Structures are given as C-alpha cells and as structure tokens.
Amino acid sequence: MRRSAAVVLVMLGAFLLSGAALTRFYVAERVLGARPDVYAVVETEARGATYFDPGTATVRTGTLRGTTTLRGDVGASGPRRVVWDAFTEVAAADGSLVSYRQERAAFDRRSGVALGCCGESAEGRPATHSGLVFRWPYGTAPRDTSLWDVTTRRAHPARFAGAEVVEGLVVYRFVSEVPPTAISSRGLPPRLLGVAPRAAGRADVPVTLWAAATRTYWVEPVTGTPVRAEERVRQAYRTADGRERLTVLDGTLAYTAAQVAVSTAEARAELGRVRVLTGTVPTAGVVGGGVALAAGAVLASLTRGGRAKAGAAPESRMAAASGST
C-alpha cells in the first residue's frame, strides 16, 4: 500500500513541477501579448484648440474630439507577430471632420517593436516603421526608448521621466519630443494665408506644412498598457520666408476621463492575468510538486525499511534455532 502511494505521490509531484514550468515558460509566452484579433476604440479630447476648418475654410477655436479605432488582422499575424490597422479621425464639436489618417504596421506582440512587413503603410502610402508601434512592451523598463510617429514617418526618442501613480496604479511616464519637421508642400490661395495676391498666371502661393509634437504616456510597466496619454500638437503652413501663415492644428489631445477609467480597468485585468500565469500558478505548482515528491520519497524510504526488517526476522529465527541445537 505504501509503495503504491509513494509512486502516486512521485508522479503527482513530477506532473505539478512540469505544469509549473509549462505555464511559466510556454503558456505565459503564448497567451500574454498583443491580441491579433483586437478591436478597440480610444477617445481623446482637446479643449480650446485652434484648428483649420476645411468646411468653412477658416481658422476656429473650440473643442476637438479624437477617435482612434484599432483593428487586428488575424490572417496576417503569427505566433510572435501582430498586424494592426489604425484609423484616427479628429472632429469638431459639431461633428465636422478636421483630419483623418490611417496606418498599418506589424510588430512583435510582446516587445511592441516594429517588424517591417505585411503591407505596412502610413497616411495611405508605404512606410517603413521603426521603434515602438501601437503599444508598449510587456515588462516596460524605466529607460529611454524610441517611439514611432506617423506624421513625420520616423521614430523619435521617448525619454523616461519617472514613476507616478495614476488611479492607484504605479506607472512610468515617458515623454517624446517631435521637433519641427517639414511634412509636405503644396499651393494655397493667398486669401487663406493673409498675403497679397500673386502675379496673374499663378494664383496659389507655395507653402510647406510643418509639424511638431510633444507626446506624454503614463504606462503600467508590467503589461505595457498606457493608462493615460496626451499629445501636444502644432501644425502650420509656412511660406518660403519661414513665416507661419496658416494654423492647421494647435492643441493638446488627451485621454478623456472615461478613457482613463477604461484603460486603467484593462491594465488591472491584464496585470491579474500576468500574475496568475507567471506567479500564482507556477509557484503553486512548484510548492505542491515539491511537497508531493518529498512525501513520496519518505513513503518509499519507509517501505524499503519495512521490507528490510521483514527480511531480517526469519534470518534471526534461523540463527537462534541453529544455536539451540
């Protein structure tokens, strides 16, 4: 009976230890990461923003609302690769569209680093992404990194700016500065720019769109979930003399209070999954497996000891009988 129990305990211990290792180093690696089938909407708002209204061809001041929709491409994704499409629109309070852009990128599902494949694009044109794209890595480290910017079509440094607490969560704050960059050139009517009309035969004035931004992210480091973010944007057309002639956008788009609440809840839920798969289950398996193996070893030892005593008893009786004769 003891022998059977010892065998069962040893087998149970081996099973628990194997399960602990499998959960920590295989299941966690496969389960934890950006989802290939993601569908999410991120809401931002800019109060008191200055912007060019295409509908009225005038510069206005008011509240802007930004909506970014993230959609995963399951067919193009793989075990380590995730492909997402992003659609971002910024609209005025009356619903009139101020700007729209779309982007597609492939990235490592755990590190968030761009992989450069799968028909990646930005603003409807092919692009070569670099740095972090769409999300922050699991296990975000408190150090500087690089962050992709769709407007300038390049990665820019993101500086680690310290740890803070947002909605009860310890987060890392990162700041990415996008310096004034020439984006594109075109011609615009003089009346929009506030300049004198040009000579007959060429009504439009050549201008260049310049853009600059400061992006700040508050990231829950274990899961890489941004629980808060804001983007200070300045875009304007300049004439050849370098003077700004027409403001396109000047304001700060930040997560709405509702978005912060949603992102915080998502971070807490994912943090719970991480702790279960990398801590609770493996630890329980190691402890339980160790106890079972130890108990099995003790029972096996007791079984061997009992057999030895049982084998020694007949020999003692035979020796005693020989002595009496």
Residue 22 within any structural domain of the chain: no
| Number of domains composing the chain | 1
Are the C-beta atoms of residues 136 and 185 closer than 8 Å to each other? no
Long-range pairs, 258-267, Cβ under 8 A, ≥24: 258/43, 259/42, 259/43, 259/44, 260/166, 260/167, 260/227, 260/228, 261/167, 263/225, 263/226, 263/227, 263/228, 264/166, 264/167, 264/168, 264/169, 264/227, 266/225, 267/169, 267/220, 267/223, 267/225, 267/227
Residue 161 within any structural domain of the chain: yes
- Percent pLDDT > 90 in the chain is 63
Residue 130: predicted pLDDT? 96
Residue 71: predicted pLDDT? 97
Are the C-beta atoms of residues 178 and 212 closer than 8 Å to each other? yes
Three-state secondary structure call for residue 203:
coil
- Encode pLDDT of 44-100 as tens digits: 999 999 999 988 899 999 999 999 999 999 999 998 999 999 999 999 999 999 999
Cα–Cα dist 155/231, whole Å? 16
pLDDT-derived band at 23 (thresholds 50, 70, 90) equals very low
Over residues 165-188, the mean pLDDT reads: 96
Residue 291 within any structural domain of the chain: no
Residue 146 within any structural domain of the chain: yes
Question: Hey, how many other C-beta atoms are within 10 angstroms of the C-beta on 8?
Answer: 14
Residue 203: predicted pLDDT? 81
Residue 41 within any structural domain of the chain: yes
Residue 3 within any structural domain of the chain: no
Residue 297 within any structural domain of the chain: no
- Percent pLDDT > 70 in the chain is 73
Q: At what angle do helices 2-22 and 281-324 cross, to 10 degrees?
A: 160
Owning domain of residue 224 = 35-189+203-278
Residue 236 within any structural domain of the chain: yes
